[in-house]
Structure 1
């Protein structure tokens, strides 16, 4: 008689981690584990982690602290940490958390099943954080269990070669490796057969796709091939680096009906001195020039961005340049952060002499400005009838459905479940901070 085994998985961070978690689920299910909703019910606890900010890393250790009593009551419980924090901490994590069993870095998720099996049989502890060579990594892009979800992510490139001075990604994800385009297209077709109607192509910098492989197509060409897949309704991509945003790629927003009219284009700062210290590879004017061309090619496009406040050496004048850029760019949303030094990055060694209260003041001012710009967009949209791809039941309950506009804005509305997977016209009636309420037309 087989013993029932269960696992609890929590995912932190970006879309890349979401895809990695889908691979993790397939691996542990192959060992006979079934998913449960709480760590208290599980025989195996897995955290798939993000280290892009110090707060995200602290959150992981906080979770591990809460698991300690569970391990004391049930010594056979297996606890694993995967992803970027695991890659960054390595052996130190086992030393800090003596009841932790597995530390599995970003290049070794494919080995997780073997590590879990060894922990089951021999109570062995494992640390696997070695980086793999590019050729081997190309053969190890995530394989995922079937799903009928309407919107799916597809990884096209892993790693990053930019080494921005503040960013931990190249240190925990490795150098850029593009996935073969034939394999990308095969996965897109498979996901569409399973029920996907929207595909988001993802990578730390999708614009660099194919640049290091002599026999590969450009990212713009890949988009055009994906758009030819029958049954696919919508395409998105993220994240884009401004210095690699080519005219060829911008033109796709004019030429491809399936490509959603939204782009996430992180600017990080509005002044040239800070951009140079960040090693971003573009100037303020070059960034604004890319935005201008995007809007000229596709007037209805909307943009989101990332901004860091309080980078070492930033002055009041340079912060004001960021505020001015936000006024000019008119992003619909920004993801904003106060600078957080990450171990191993060059910015961590820079003298940080900006008082915390000044950083907080700048952050609050920037947030207030962007919230007003965002509010204006949301109010302007009330009354519009927009095509919405219905993804499922709304978290708001009340029998509502939810979907997203081409601008990636969530809309909740009343409707029958048989609308899931269809694009339907919805009139936006009420604007909230994170979503709109609408009614089907």
Structure 2
């Protein structure tokens, strides 16, 4: 539980690596620090407490953390009063070995301990060097996050992951699935609505698994807590105009969920559903639990119910043993489906994952070549998808001023396209963050749009 204090403790700086879950964790940890009396600093090289919330999904993200830590360790040797914290997935993965590598660290804490930051820092202030990576039940989140946006907010609905994809380190660093109760989720959303938030993204590492660890069976014999049920339960929160969710898993994505998204007006027509590979043999090697045809049927069902829906995804190239023909099937699937966005990555061996030990690893040269080719295709496909907006009027939720042009606001369409438009209205007044604005698109780019008012 966070204990409030009015005593100033200096400044803090949080650097966040990785996924939306990490960003949400960082917001909560910032809220805890401010309730303890810290204030947000002006940079990591002047703050009194520096926290790195880390990602281990790929090796380059992990190595970047060590580079940052090297500079902070030097600061710590010159200023022993500096508090140095590593949180997140690298902390969970490395544990005490991080202290051996960077003995200047004060606190190493895994993702399950984000809500206990105040308790752990109290141990640091008592003179301890703390490692918190043990399995921990995530108690209902009673912290107050320091939100980076005043319009769009993250709400965690399920922590952890029970999947065992052969390339993925997430289950070993984020722990077993733990679903929050729907009443608590709705209460948090009502609190955000009262603060003026307009859009909520429900978050989970595998959000379609929501509720399967909660008790209850309906008279029809299905689980009484599912993501579909949750969407119905939170849809009527007054003040919230838009609802999104991420990240989905094709194995658990149901027709019932698609129907709910089509029927509930606040749920945005945007789906992020990773496919990872366009080849069934590779999907089996990845232990993904679905086929390419199964994935196609999901997309077909979405587009039959919501023709305007945007589809984004994740894909891995150069997975161990991936032949050129298998790689080409991934390219073919991208062309066939016409994704609005695909996040791509070359396979990176991760500790304690089966695929990392396989002998059929591909060379770095192959990884670079395939990644460059697939990225070019993704941009081409995204450009083709963006073209459909030209000349159309779309609803944009204004999120803030364009940092590159102070005469413009920026926000997102319901389909999640970043859009820029003028602040000034014809009558001389101005739009502001939080406004829902009708924009007529006159410029299209692969990953963003621009338009005029009306």
Q: 3-state DSSP class of the match of 1:213?
A: coil
* Offset of residue 395 of structure 1: 2.0
2:135 aligns to what? 131
Aligned to 1:208: 209
Q: Which of 29, 36, 40 is 1:35 aligned to?
A: 40
Q: Residue 385 of structure 2 aligns with which residue?
A: 377
Relative distance call for 1:206 and 1:16 in structure 2 (3 A) is same
- Of the three residues 280, 283, 289, the one matched with 1:272 is 280
Q: Which aligned pairs between 1:182-331 and structure 2 lie closer than 5 A?
A: 182-215=183-216, 216-331=224-339
Residue equivalent to 2:157: 156
Task: Give the alignment of 1:37-76 within 5 angstroms.
Answer: 37-76=42-81
Query: Relative to 1, partners in 2 of residues 1:43 and 1:327: Cα closer, same or farther, differing over 3 Å?
Result: same
Conserved 8 A contact 1:20-1:142 = no
Name 1:364's counterpart in structure 2: 372
User: 2:326 & 2:83 partners in 1: Cα distance?
Assistant: 49
- Name the stretch that deviates more: 388-397 or 162-171: 388-397
Q: In structure 1, which of residues 397, 401, 412 is the aligned counterpart of residue 409 of structure 2?
A: 401
In 1, are the aligned partners of 2:32 and 2:145 still within 8 Å (CA)? no
Q: Determine the C-alpha separation between the residues in 2 that align with 1:439 and 1:309.
A: 39
Deviation at 1:433, TM superposition (A): 4.5
C-alpha distance in structure 1 between counterparts of 2:50 and 2:363, whole Å: 40
Q: Does 1:86 align with 2:98?
A: no
CA–CA separation in structure 1 for the residues paired with 2:182 and 2:123: 36
Structure 1 distance, partners of 2:255, 2:447, is 32
Name the CA distance, whole Å, in 1 between partners of 2:361 and 2:130.
40
For the 8 Å contact 1:19–1:142, the answer to whether it is kept is no
Residues 121, 265 of structure 1: CA spacing in aligned structure 2 closer, same or farther, 3 A cutoff?
Answer: same
Q: How many residues align?
A: 436
Residue by residue over 1:373-412, the C-alpha shift from the partner in whole angstroms, topping out at 9 and shown as x without a partner, is 1111223322211000111112223232111001111111
How far apart, CA to CA, are the structure 2 residues paired with 1:371 and 1:250? 27
SS in 2 for 1:107: helix
Counterparts of 1:356 and 1:273, CA distance in 2: 22
Moved more, 178-187 or 354-363: 354-363
How far apart, CA to CA, are the structure 2 residues paired with 1:142 and 1:269? 39
Shift of 1:129: 0.3
Find the counterpart in structure 1 of residue 172 from structure 2.
Answer: 171
Cross-structure match for 2:3: none
Give the equivalent residue in structure 1 for 2:143: 143
RMSD: 1.7
Change (3 A) 1:3 1:332: closer
TM-score scaled by structure 2?
A: 0.92
Query: 1: distance between equivalents of 2:315 and 2:115?
Result: 34
- The residue matched to 2:355 in structure 1 has which SS? helix
Residue segments in structure 2 that go unaligned for 5+ positions in a row: 1-5, 217-223, 425-429
Distance 1:393 1:178 in 2: 36
Whole-angstrom distance in 2 between the partners of 1:260 and 1:362: 33
1:428 matched to 2:422? no
Give the Cα separation in 2 of the matches to 1:86 and 1:4. Answer: 24
Cα deviation, residue 160, structure 1 = 0.7
Q: CA deviation at 1:345?
A: 0.8
Of residues 393-402 and 335-344 in structure 1, the stretch that sits farther from structure 2 once superposed is 393-402
Task: Report the secondary structure of 2:143's partner residue.
Answer: coil
Out of 109-118 and 29-38, give the one that drifted further: 109-118
Equivalent pair of 1:141/1:155 in contact (CA under 8 Å): no
Change (3 A) 1:25 1:3: closer
Contact map agreement 2:383 2:447 (CA 8 A) in 1: no
2:345 counterpart residue number: 337
CA drift of 1:420 comes to 2.0
Which structure has more helix as a fraction of its residues? 1
Aligned equivalents of 1:431 and 1:37: distance in 2? 35
Offset at 1:418?
Answer: 4.5
The answer (yes or no) to whether the contact 1:87–1:106 under 8 Å persists in 2 is yes
Q: CA deviation at 1:428?
A: 1.5
Distance in 1, matches of 2:387 and 2:38, equals 47
What residue ranges of structure 1 are gaps of 5+ in the alignment?
A: none
- How far 1:58 sits from its partner (Å)? 0.6
